[in-house]
Chain A
Amino acid sequence: MAIVINGTNYPLPDDPRVSLLDFLRERLGLTGTKLGCNQGGCGACTVILDGTRVLSCLTLAVQADGRDVLTIEGLASDQSGLHPLQQAFIDHDGLQCGYCTPGQICSAVAMIGELRRGDPSYVTADLVEGPKGGLRQEIRERMSGNLCRCGAHNGIVAAIEQMLNGEAP
């Protein structure tokens, strides 16, 4: 009974009511994952579970038993370094207060995978042909679960677009 978080094993919490979000923030002190609404509405708590983005506030910690969780703290290959998307967020000023930012970045990293895999979305015109990756509308639709109240949307989309047009992460 353990969760693998950023490559390290952690025993499950004793209280089954504990969400993955509270487990990360309150039990393990991994506060990079943010609590925005605790009810699935804002995306601030997004983490990557076995390669797929999930809302950690709507995921019980016990559901992650035996699975791999990647959080913002584990994105960069080394502690002080930055993942290329983190750097792109800085370059395009895809943040202001920075509170939605870890969720945006985790969400985008997994979303790029969905796009490359050819998962269709609401703005995909031709479902047979699949999405034409790199389109801003495509990014916007796929990132709409991550709210930003400061209004850093343009920079966020630009950063993700750069990432999509550049080398694979």
Chain B
Amino acid sequence: MSKLQNAIVGGVRTAMGYVPGNWLPGGTPDPLIERRVTLGTQQSRVDGPDKVRGAAHFAAEVPMEGLLYAACVHSTIPRGRITELDVAAAETAPGVALVMTHRNAPKMAVPPPIGLTNLKAAGNNILPVMQDAEIRWNGQTVAVVLAETQEQADLAASLIKVGYEAAVARTRFEKAKADARTPDSLMIEKNRLKKGDVAVALQAAARSVDAIYRTPWHNHTPIEPNAATIAWKGDRLTVHDATQMLNGTAGSLAKVFGIKESQVYVSSPFVGGGFGGKALWDHQILGAAAAKLAGRPVRIALSRASMVRLIGGRSPTEQRVALAAAADGRLKGLLHHGFSVKPPHSACDEAFTLTSRSLYASESFDVVQHTIDLDVLANTFMRAPGEAPGTFALESAMDELAHELGMDPIELRRRNVPDRNPVSGAPHSQSDVMLAYDLGAKRFGWDRRAAAPRSRREGEWLIGMGCATGSFPYARMPGMTVRITLDGSGHATVSSAAHEMGMGTATVQRQHTADRLGLPLESVTVTIGDTSLPFGSFAGGSSQTASLGAAINAASGKLAVELLRLAGNDTPLAGLRPAEIEFVNGGLRKIGEPSRYESFVSILKRAARDQISVTGVSSAPLEMLKFSMHSRSAIFCELLVSDVTGEVRVDRLVGCFDCGRILNPKTAASQFRGGMIMGIGMALTEEALFDERTGRVMSASIADYHVPAHLDVPDIDILWTDIPDPRTPMGARGIGEIGITGVAAAIANAAFNATGKRVRELPLTPDKFLFA
């Protein structure tokens, strides 16, 4: 955000300070918190049968007449110019319909960047796409081949000869630190936080720690590769995409091709894993451009190698955390500084210091982060951007401090958990991380932990236990829109351009709508996944459930008004105002007077209507400005480290989550586990290998980037506090991202407890224990 946006958010915050909390959206707690019927119960996924049968169709599976297949040729230098481009052999290869390079690509505008303020933009890599001979990162697409089959396209792509004139490129993290920039803001926060004097606190402290933590490049690595099936009809563009930003993609492609948003249709009913990586990148633009040139539909399904060249990952971080504490463990000073990569053509902050501004009370704070500019593909958001690497550093440091103090790590946290936001003073909407710790510790058996490192051994295996806090902020997006259509049989259909990537979107909002409208589950259908439906914000920031929840709530209010109007005077509801009625048993009734009731079926029948439709919109999320709203978790790990090989095996994981009300325990537990498993990968194996000499990603296959396999994943116990958040729809906060946070720290802390070795650089590969 700009300085101006900072000022506006700051101004609104100041004004909000004088507004009583109950004036705000969600000020009166959502009545569904108390009145749950299907919410809170275990429900299997509505799309489960299709998915287990292989009948759920993904972007690269949409059949089209006359389809051409695309293959990409990528640059092999990080910076410079194309000087030679020989496509003759490719053009005459069997089955080839088109070779597109910067020489014949159509004119296209630079895609507009993803932003929190523009939901119609989804661009990540804000650079011209195939418009000139310039090379801007190692892996940029220099040619696209279209052929009748994938095999023909792949062969022809291999026949293209490209010559380059290389220019000096910035590819070294350490070297580029000297020119690092210090942005004014991070997401919607000011970047620099100074309160009191941390330097003085560190000098005067009874105990202190001060260390550097490092995390590498990460890739999302969804099992479904990024892919799109694309067709033009005149100047109308259809894109079957794998995206978590339907409307953002439509809006961006409209800008790129100079057409109206209404001329772009994007469909993505199922996404085979997103984690931040399924937004708009060059391939959709290239595919659409090539389809336009060839006059035929195109499928562009990226190979794993093309994915690492064209889909950005999570930036590496180097973080310094220093903590100063009194002898009783209370924090006197908290310093969190650091660097991450964010070239000017990237739209995404890796805001790893945000957690340090709210998690613990400290007398003084010194928090700021810097961005490094490299000639690389833009970094992007990946599951819990900021918080995933940030909690690794902060929560490792807390463990180090507990060790220095000779204090139990949970006790240290208990002494420092604030009762309101320690920086802004804003009250928490709901927060009870210590309850999460208490419940989790009991389930885990924390009392069996030996405080002294290296005290337990079984044969070659050293055994340790560790814990850490996870955290992710609440977010609700404005503008999310749903339509509720109620038909003459009393069946409600909810539709919105929302996304399903495995979260159970339709499953949970079906439960929500049933409870909201007083209907049985069977009387609700949820339709999502394409831009012909009412406007949807993105599936990101763990915001989709709350945003859809607010929109459905708003629509239900309008539905009540509309039904009362239709009901007229010949009804037991006659004369009642919307505030006096409630939805129940497939109809409306007067609150506190059950005899004054009429069913939807009866109202519609009398009014001779087949159906009625209303739309509702998620309002401005003012609650985020008034309250400090964060989900937190307590993560526990027991593991083994081989004294011989340095191998780490995670034996047990427990996660206890304080995320408001849990809406569907079955799908929620899966989502928490999924995040925690990605945390195992982050802790132990995941690292995109980047060649600093050439700026090229070396781990260009799924075999080179190690995500957890079955044998790496133990049984994971999931618990939650289930305390409703009175400021949110349904009392729930988002749960998609928090699962990964805190896990790497809990594992590193357990590894310290096992071995006495503190590894501050992820991933925790065997060498780091053997040679530390």
Contacts and interface: CB of A to CB of B under 8 A. Distances in A.
A153 B713 CA distance: 7
Given A143-B710, A144-B710, A151-B676, A31 B57 contact: yes
A151 B677 contact: yes
Given A32-B55, A34-B224, A99-B273, 20 more contacts: A34-B58, A41-B703, A42-B223, A71-B54, A90-B45, A91-B44, A93-B45, A95-B52, A96-B503, A97-B273, A99-B222, A105-B52, A140-B713, A144-B709, A147-B702, A148-B223, A151-B676, A153-B710, A154-B715, A154-B716
A38 B51 CA distance: 20
Nearest to B55: A32
Interface residues of A, number: 61
A15 B275 contact: no
A100 interface: yes
A36 to B, nearest CB: 5
A33 to B, nearest CB: 7
Contacts of A98: 47-48, 50-52, 56, 270, 272, 502
Contacts of B224: 34, 36, 97, 99
Contacts of B666: 93
Contact of B502 (A26, A31, A38, A150): A150
A100 B671 contact: no
B707 A39 contact: no
Contacts of B149: 15, 18, 22, 26
Contacts of B715: 136, 154
A13 to B, nearest CB: 9
Interface string B278-312: 00000000000000000000000101100000000
Nearest to B63: A29
Nearest to B301: A35
A34 B51 CA distance: 11
Contacts of B150: 22, 26
Closest 3 CB pairs of A and B: A32-B54, A96-B502, A98-B51
A56 interface: no
A150 B707 CA distance: 11
A156 B47 contact: no
Nearest to A73: B54
A102 interface: yes
Interface residues of B, number: 62
B642 interface: no
Contacts of A25: 61
B53 interface: yes
A1 interface: no
A142 B72 CA distance: 35
A18 B667 CA distance: 38
B460 interface: no
Given A96-B674, A97-B271, A153-B710, A31 B51 contact: no
A91 B272 CA distance: 20
Nearest to A137: B711
30 contacts: A26-B149, A29-B63, A31-B54, A32-B55, A36-B225, A37-B703, A38-B304, A39-B701, A40-B703, A41-B701, A42-B702, A90-B48, A93-B44, A93-B669, A97-B222, A97-B223, A98-B50, A99-B58, A99-B224, A99-B273, A101-B51, A102-B52, A102-B54, A123-B711, A140-B710, A141-B710, A151-B670, A151-B673, A151-B675, A153-B710
Contact of A31 (B49, B61, B225, B674): B61
Contacts of B588: none
A32 B701 contact: no
Nearest to A100: B223
Contacts of A123: 711
B25 to A, nearest CB: 30
Interface string A41-67: 110100000000000000000000000
B51 A93 contact: no
A140 to B, nearest CB: 4
B52 A82 contact: yes
Interface string A144-167: 111111111111110000000000
A125 interface: no
A97 B44 contact: no
A127 interface: no
Contacts of A15: 149, 151
Interface in A76-120: 76, 82, 86-87, 89-91, 93, 95-102, 105
A20 interface: no
B546 interface: no
A56 B667 CA distance: 31
A69 interface: no
Contacts of B701: 37, 39, 41
B501 interface: yes
Contacts of B58: 31, 34, 99
B60 interface: yes
A97 B539 CA distance: 13
Contacts of B502: 95-98, 150
B47 to A, nearest CB: 7
Interface in B487-520: 500-504
A139 interface: yes
Interface of A: 15, 17-18, 22, 25-26, 29, 31-42, 44, 71-73, 76, 82, 86-87, 89-91, 93, 95-102, 105, 123, 136-137, 139-141, 143-157
A166 to B, nearest CB: 17
Interface string B557-599: 0000000000000000000000000000000000000000000
A146 B49 CA distance: 20
For A40, A148, A153, which residue has the most chain B Cβ atoms within 10 angstroms? A153
A28 to B, nearest CB: 11
B223 A36 contact: yes
Interface in B706-725: 707-711, 713, 715-716
B221 interface: yes
A123 B502 CA distance: 31
A149 B151 contact: no
Contacts of B503: 96
A49 B270 CA distance: 28
B63 A146 contact: no
Contacts of A40: 703
B678 interface: yes
B499 to A, nearest CB: 11
A17 B702 CA distance: 22
A156 to B, nearest CB: 7
Contacts of B44: 90-91, 93
A140 B168 CA distance: 48
Nearest to B303: A38
Contact of A35 (B60, B151, B711): B60
A47 B48 CA distance: 20
A141 B51 CA distance: 24
Nearest to B678: A151
A98 B716 CA distance: 20
A108 to B, nearest CB: 11
Nearest to B224: A99
B54 A72 contact: yes
A153 B60 CA distance: 25
Nearest to A148: B223
A154 B303 CA distance: 29
A119 B572 CA distance: 72
A32 B52 CA distance: 9
Contacts of B55: 32
Contacts of A44: 223
A145 to B, nearest CB: 8
Interface string B396-417: 0000000000000000000000
B674 A151 contact: yes
Nearest to A91: B44
A152 B272 contact: no
A167 B55 CA distance: 26
Contact of B710 (A42, A86, A149, A156): A156
A36 B702 CA distance: 9
